[in-house]
Each structure stands twice: as C-alpha cells, then as structure tokens.
C-alpha cells in the first residue's frame, strides 16, 4: 500500500522535479497554503484533470457534520496507462471546514468501509491513506482558523473497459461568523445559513515506477472562476431549509460548484436577546425580592 509522500506534494509546488521522500511537515504546510492562496506564488501546471478524468463530488448529510463523496472516472483510458501508477488527491479546505485526523485514524484502524476506495464491479476496495496539511484547531470557530488541505493517497484499479473509483471522507463545518440576514416578520425568529464553497481538488498521477511520468493535474480554471466567495449569507429560514438544500443540490450538479449550507448566528437577534435577558433578569429579581420580604415578615 502506497503512502502519500513529499515527492508528489512537492511536484504541485514546483511542477518540475522530484524532491525526495522525507519532506518536513512545514513544507507540506507551505505547499497547502500555496494551493489555497494562488497569490502566494504557486507555479501552475498547464494540464487539468478535466482532460482525462471526471471528478464528481457530493455532500451527503446535513448540518455541521457531513460526508464528502468523490466519484473519479477515467474518460481517456485508451490514451493513458494507469497500471502501476500511484495516485493522490489533494482537497483544499477553507477555514470553515475541517477533516478530523483522529476520526480518520479511528476509521482506518476499525477498517470501516467509509474510509475506503471502491472500484465499480469489484468485490472489495483498498483503503486509502491520508494526511491533513496545515494548521488545525478543532475547537476554534471559523474566523479564528486558517485554511488547510487533505491529501488522500489511493490506487486506481481498472476493471474491464470502465474505471470508476469512489472515496468517502467525513468532514465537519466550524461555527461561521454571524451575519445580519434582514429577516422580516415572524421569520425574524429564524436562524440563517452561510454558503461555504468547497474548492475543487487537485489530482496527481505518479507513473515513474512504471516507466511513465509524474503528472500534476490542477482543477479546471473555468469552474474556479465561477465559484462565489467562501462564505455567503442566505436569507432562507429554518422552515424551508430542506427545500433550499434540495434546490442547491440540483444547482450544484449542473454547475459543479459544491456549496455547504452551514447554520449561522443571526445578528438581528441582538436586540431581541438583550431585551429577553433583561426581562428574565428583572422577573427573577422580583421573585427573589418578594420571597425575601415573605421570609422577613414570617420572622
């Protein structure tokens, strides 16, 4: 079983030559930050995985804890030979999303099927290896965190004339920054949602051991340009959240832009909470005062 190493990740940063198998962790972090912030000077690759592969992603579940499912399909099997190739997928994660390494390790030890690759038509799949790149804090809210990335290493298995691999990774959303949603009427009591963009992944094919080359395949530029900001507030109230998520899933399938709807605090509740707290405090003081007077009168 191949373990993702510094060689493949270094190739993303320089796109030229292999560096070595023992890369320090700080360089992993540097490469991950370059991927998430292209202005940092990342040397770009001229090839995209869209020319050879189709990567479809789907978020399963709802709320703060969901599963990101990758479906990777090779569409140019006659022009490339994947036998003996080592493959890895690098998924950039904004500060609002995290992959819990302790959970992934626990799933790997327990042999859970949710931490495995599965080729269509095969009896079983091979587990993938992972590495979380970047600074990670499981407790801080999103505004206090930095972006990171998740590196997945796996082997593509060819079955007859079709190759399709599926990966499932549990992810978690952090508490986003509160927003003023501008609700009116009874909807003022509802909470809003923030739309978090899950960036497109990078794909690496290391076929040097089989006499091939190391290919660094970046995300399609067109899809990156269509992506909105990492966090966008929405005025959908809680009662219509299920219908909203259904419409969002249909739109995502058409545009291939993956959005995560995360519940967020509503700043419009500040006055309501302040007045409610004041009234409750005043009522408690009145009850305690009346009780104290009754005790004094009884004495």
- Of the two residues 232 and 183, the one the predictor is more confident about is 183
**Average pLDDT over every residue of 68-86:** 75
Token pair, residue 118, equals 């599965």
**Average pLDDT over every residue of 27-38:** 46
pLDDT at residue 103 is higher than 80: yes
Per-residue model confidence (pLDDT) at position 46:
57
What's the CA gap between 260 and 193, in Å, rounded?
A: 9
For the entire predicted model, the pTM comes to: 0.66
**Average pLDDT over every residue of 162-189:** 76
**Average pLDDT over every residue of 121-146:** 70
Q: How confident is the prediction for the chain on average, in pLDDT?
A: 69
Phi-psi region of 159 (alpha: psi -120 to 50; beta: other; left: phi over 0): beta
Per-residue model confidence (pLDDT) at position 120:
45
pLDDT tens-place string over residues 245-279:
555 554 444 456 889 988 887 777 777 788 889 99
- Of the two residues 20 and 286, the one the predictor is more confident about is 286
What's the CA gap between 215 and 204, in Å, rounded?
A: 6
What's the CA gap between 265 and 190, in Å, rounded?
A: 10
Q: Where are the domains of the chain?
A: 6-265, 268-299
Whose tokens are 């966090």? That residue is 231
pLDDT band for 4, please (50, 70, 90 cuts).
very low
SS3 category, 275: helix
**Average pLDDT over every residue of 173-180:** 82
- Listed residue (95, 62, 137) closest to 229, CA to CA: 95
Phi, psi for residue 255 in degrees, rounded to 5: -100, -10
């Amino acid at each position: 079983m191949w373990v993702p190493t510094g060689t493949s990740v270094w190739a993303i940063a320089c796109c030229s030559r292999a560096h070595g198998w023992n890369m320090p962790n700080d360089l992993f972090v540097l490469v991950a930050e370059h991927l998430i912030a292209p202005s940092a000077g990342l040397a770009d690759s001229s090839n995209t995985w869209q020319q050879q592969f189709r990567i479809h992603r789907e978020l399963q579940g709802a709320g703060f804890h969901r599963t990101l499912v990758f479906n990777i399909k090779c569409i140019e099997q006659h022009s490339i030979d994947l036998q003996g190739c080592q493959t890895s997928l690098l998924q950039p994660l904004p500060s609002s999303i995290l992959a819990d390494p302790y959970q992934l390790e626990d799933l790997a030890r327990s042999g859970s099927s949710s931490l495995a690759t599965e080729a269509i038509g095969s009896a079983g799949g091979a587990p993938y290896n992972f590495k979380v790149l970047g600074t990670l804090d499981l407790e801080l809210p999103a505004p206090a965190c930095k972006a990171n990335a998740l590196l997945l290493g796996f082997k593509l298995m060819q079955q007859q004339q079709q190759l399709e691999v599926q990966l499932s990774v549990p992810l978690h959303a952090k508490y986003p920054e509160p927003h003023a949603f501008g609700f009116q009427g009874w909807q003022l009591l509802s909470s809003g949602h923030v739309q978090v963009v899950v960036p497109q992944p990078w794909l690496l094919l290391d076929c040097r051991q089989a006499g091939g080359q190391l290919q660094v395949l970046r995300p399609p530029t067109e899809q990156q340009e269509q992506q909105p900001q990492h966090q966008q507030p929405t005025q959908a109230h809680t009662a219509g959240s299920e219908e909203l998520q259904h419409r969002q899933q249909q739109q995502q399938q058409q545009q291939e832009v993956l959005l995560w709807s995360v519940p967020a605090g509503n700043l419009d509740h500040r006055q309501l909470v302040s007045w409610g707290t004041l009234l409750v405090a005043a009522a408690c003081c009145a009850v305690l005062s009346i009780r104290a007077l009754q005790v004094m009168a009884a004495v």
